[in-house]
């Protein structure tokens, strides 16, 4: 049994976690965009 099968079975038994994982990925992607957008320039 692979980790992919285990995760699929877990999500099938706990469908609410699909929304939680989606929200977590969405927040992490937004945080990455914000972190990449903050550029500081030192010098002229």
Summarised one tens digit per residue, pLDDT across range 9-43 is 999 999 999 999 999 999 988 887 777 776 666 76
Q: How far apart are CA 1 and CA 41, in angstroms?
A: 50
Q: How high is the pLDDT of residue 11? A: 92
Q: How far apart are CA 9 and CA 34, in angstroms?
A: 34
Q: How high is the pLDDT of residue 5? A: 82
DSSP secondary structure letter of residue 15: T
Helices of type H across 1-44: 3-13, 16-37
Q: How far apart are CA 2 and CA 17, in angstroms?
A: 19
Global confidence as pTM? 0.61
Q: How high is the pLDDT of residue 2? A: 72
Q: How far apart are CA 19 and CA 40, in angstroms?
A: 35
């Amino acid at each position: 049994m692979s980790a992919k099968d285990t995760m699929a079975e877990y999500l099938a038994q706990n469908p609410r976690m699909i929304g939680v994982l989606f929200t977590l990925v969405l927040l992490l992607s937004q945080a990455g965009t914000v972190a990449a957008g903050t550029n500081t320039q030192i010098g002229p």
